[in-house]
Structure 1
Amino acid sequence: MISRRHILKAGTIAMLLPRALSAGESPSQSLIQSISRDTLWDNLDGKGVTWFQTRCCMIPDSNGKRTALMTMQEIAGSDYYGGVHEVYSDDRGKSWTEPDPVAAFGQYPMPEHEGLRRAVCDVVPEYHPETNSVLAIGLVVFYRGERFSKADQLARYPMYAVRDSNGQWSQARKLEWDDPRGSNIYANNCGQRVTLPNGDVLLAFTFGDKPIHRSVASVRCTFDGNSLKIKEVGPALELKHKRGLLEPSLTWYGGRFYMTIRAEDDHGYVAASEDGLNWSDKQQWTWDDGSPIGMSTTQQHWLTHSEGLFLVYNRRDDANRNVIRWRSPLFVAEVDPKRMVLKRETERVVVPMQGDGVNKPNEVPLMGNFHIVNATESESWLTVGSWRPRMNESGAVTLARIQWAQPNTLVRQSLDKPYVQ
């Protein structure tokens, strides 16, 4: 491991005090004891590097100690990123190694397309217990000059690389799917996955044969620590509106699988499955009183505890109504898993909005790209790279620590249950 360390500065932690239970509130609603926040890298002055796509996984050793691995990329424009870097922390996120490039996920020329470069974005690393490796899956992307190449973006597909138990990364490889339905794009970008008891990896694709009206389906893959291969693809869910259904994330809770999905009709969507492949009809995310939740083309992710299921998301609010896609603040609320709705009274802020989202929205750092990991039995982490596209691409990396009132036993790996990170 790299020995140079990036130490958190004093005074970067803000705390939300635990709230008292209200009348009629269930015990699971008090699972979140407190939330604190650390600033890991600060480039709000725009003079350095703005790190983005910050996603963690936890790597246990033989003694049970867990080391955090985080992948991240510099953002330098809309959908334009530098190469993937890795950082590590072996002291529960108090200090981090200096960013080091992952060669597998760098930028490389496309000889058959002069001036075009292939790169990888939206990388999600997850620990794979059966092979003691880290499987990192991203999405191929093509750049021309210093920008995302809209005019000649080629077909897009997942790229993955494997970090072995010695810390060495493999070359990047394409996850093959020979299906015409994904001829324009098929992707698991930014998505949370579930590792099944036999080591198979359950993930979800967004896919389409043209740029609009993409569908989603879950995909069961085999993984032997080296090769990731598709074994089975489930029936698709569809939405015939703009780009369709995007960036699905999976979790497993209470004996069922759940999928949350980004869309572009001012809603997010949710579905459930008994086997992880065949899904219920999708339904819009709503509050438990049936009222809609305004979500503008932004991702949601699961925060899963052994005793309760939560969703983290952006939504419309009076205070952020002029912020791009309402991408600040980040909220969390408990899910009613039977009805697949959010319990309104449980909502709280995970990472607050900085600035004035009504009168000065361009000064508000956007936080629509984030990830969640169960760090220990007592603590889960949300990592997010914020970004101000109209203020010199400035931003900061925040680690939000969700402290649990009860142990999260999902951290303990089980041989007979899916592994949720």
Structure 2
Amino acid sequence: MNRRLFVFFATLFLLLTATALGNDPSGGSPGKTGAAKPAITPDISEEPTRLACDEGGGALSYDELPCMRSPKIEDDIAGDAHRQVRLVATQSDAANESPNASISKEAPLIASISKETLWRNRDGQSQTWFHPRACMMPGASGDPIALMTLQQIGGSDYFGQVHWSMSTDLGKTWSDPEPIAALGRDPIPGREDDLRAAVCDVVPQYDPVTNSLLAMGHVVFYKGDYFARKEQLSRYPIYVTRDQHGTWSERKILQWDDPRGSNIYSNGCGQRVVLPDGDVLMSFTFGPGETNRMVSGVRATFDGELLKVKEVGPALQNNQGRGLLEPSVAEFGDKFWITLRAEDNRGYVSVSDDGLNYEEKRAWAWDDGTPIDMSTTQQHWLTHSDGLFLVYTRKDESNENVIRWRSPLWIAQVDTDNRCLIKASEQVVLPLVGDGIDAPNHVALMGNFHVTHASPEESWVTVGEWMPRDGYRGDVLLARIRWSKPNRTPLW
């Protein structure tokens, strides 16, 4: 039934009722027997189709429909009917004009989510792979293939050499991981001890302008078999490139000569955007000390071999703990979006027209305004041509005792008008396995993950599980998110 017919029949019912009550044979007062007036009359900015009443008050007409009798003593009752019709019309109009009306009316973009295991080590009999991050690139025939970087984990912030693996069948099978020679542990000039410069938090991305791949992480310092927590030198981005013939380059440093980054400047774990001219839009987390790190948008040039900082935008700040960490950038609509890890039980979001000048950050919240509890863990974007999504961890009654609530992984659609998450769209990407209340030490953490736009039909979330209090065991998982309509976002 269309809206006009619905309103007509609702009006007809109310007016028939009003007429019957107004002609009560017992002689009761029409003013007392009429329908009760609504407590709230909505503020209507646009008039709905009017109910016309002739000057004599004896007839009501709706559009071109026949009239029915309504004596003057029934004016209040008729007015009530009129207001009820206006209320129905207003509610219908409001629903149609809602910025997220299409989300509720159309089928959800996510058709299904399935879980696959790529490498197993929950039994502790093999290696525990970590930081699995994939990107799509054209193969020799031009068909998409996936390249993943990953490295072993043996302790808190203690990682092995960065490796790579390839899939030519959309992630169903993967080649055995092979080391990237330049991303191992290098001696430090001027040091005679065994402090070494390693690399972690690597994110690969294909560059279609130069037909090359850029894999960037940041430096980390180890001594022997442990993370040299008290001997970390200044930290900075490390990258390598891979040419069209499959040759990896030597290790390179993304230089930034700014005193604000004298202690650290980094893009570890961060999503980036390749612009049409080949420039790379990303972000730095940086600071002159251990606390109160800031985040800025960064634009860099890339020629397939060298990455150079071109512009750095104004800083976003949050003076809690270490500050703002692990920023990720995505492009959606006509905006660049940035999501930020923080240390005040929140995550933050901001937008920019150019990827450099970001608006004041907002804490992630639900669409009803309730803040979302996030414990110092990264979030990442998943983009579909018809919707923007966030993948994240948060506090839940199932994971209250899990370290930093880093299981399960969730996904929700972003209300891009109000810059919040739509609660009704939330679902689990990768579930918590185990008991997050009474046996949290046996729950594998999933706080270091990545998102890949794999094809028009599906996207992936990849993560390396680990149990820091149970032998650093865990599997490498892939969540396959299938779309209900094709994702027209370019693969590269």
Q: State the TM-score, normalizing by the size of structure 1.
A: 0.91
* Equivalences for residues 22-421 of structure 1 within 5 A: 25-26=103-104, 30-61=108-139, 63-113=141-191, 114-411=193-490
Letter of the 1:346 counterpart? S
Secondary structure, aligned partner of 2:235: coil
Q: Is the 8 A contact 2:219 2:235 kept in 1?
A: yes
Deviation at 1:411, TM superposition (A): 2.5
- Identity across aligned pairs (percent)? 57
**Against the structure 1 CA distance between its residues 117 and 249, is the aligned structure 2 distance closer, same or farther, given a 3 Å change threshold?**
same
**Against the structure 1 CA distance between its residues 27 and 110, is the aligned structure 2 distance closer, same or farther, given a 3 Å change threshold?**
farther
The count of residues paired between Structure 1 and Structure 2 equals: 392
Deviation at 1:217, TM superposition (A): 0.2
Deviation at 1:292, TM superposition (A): 1.0
Q: Is the 8 A contact 1:288 1:343 kept in 2?
A: yes
**Against the structure 1 CA distance between its residues 257 and 46, is the aligned structure 2 distance closer, same or farther, given a 3 Å change threshold?**
same
Q: State the TM-score, normalizing by the size of structure 2.
A: 0.78
**Against the structure 1 CA distance between its residues 249 and 24, is the aligned structure 2 distance closer, same or farther, given a 3 Å change threshold?**
closer
Hey, what does 1:416 align to over in structure 2? none
Between Structure 1 and Structure 2, the one with more strand by share is 1
Cα deviation, 1:47-86, whole Å, max 9, x if unaligned, reads 2100000000011136441111000000000000000000
Distance 1:208 1:43 in 2: 37
**Against the structure 1 CA distance between its residues 171 and 28, is the aligned structure 2 distance closer, same or farther, given a 3 Å change threshold?**
farther
Distance 2:346 2:106 in 1: 26
Letter of the 1:303 counterpart? L
**Against the structure 1 CA distance between its residues 81 and 412, is the aligned structure 2 distance closer, same or farther, given a 3 Å change threshold?**
closer
Cα deviation, 1:387-421, whole Å, max 9, x if unaligned, reads 001111101100110000111111355xxxxxxxx
Distance 1:186 1:320 in 2: 32
Q: Is the 8 A contact 1:29 1:346 kept in 2?
A: no
Structure with the greater relative contact order (CA < 8 A, sep ≥ 6): 1 or 2? 1
**Against the structure 1 CA distance between its residues 205 and 348, is the aligned structure 2 distance closer, same or farther, given a 3 Å change threshold?**
same
Q: Is the 8 A contact 2:151 2:161 kept in 1?
A: yes
Distance 1:306 1:255 in 2: 12
Distance 1:253 1:351 in 2: 24
Cα deviation, 1:216-273, whole Å, max 9, x if unaligned, reads 0010000000100000000000011110000000001011000000000000000000
Distance 2:297 2:417 in 1: 20
Q: Any stretches of 5+ residues in structure 1 without a counterpart?
A: 1-22, 414-421
Distance 1:131 1:321 in 2: 47
Q: Any stretches of 5+ residues in structure 2 without a counterpart?
A: 1-100
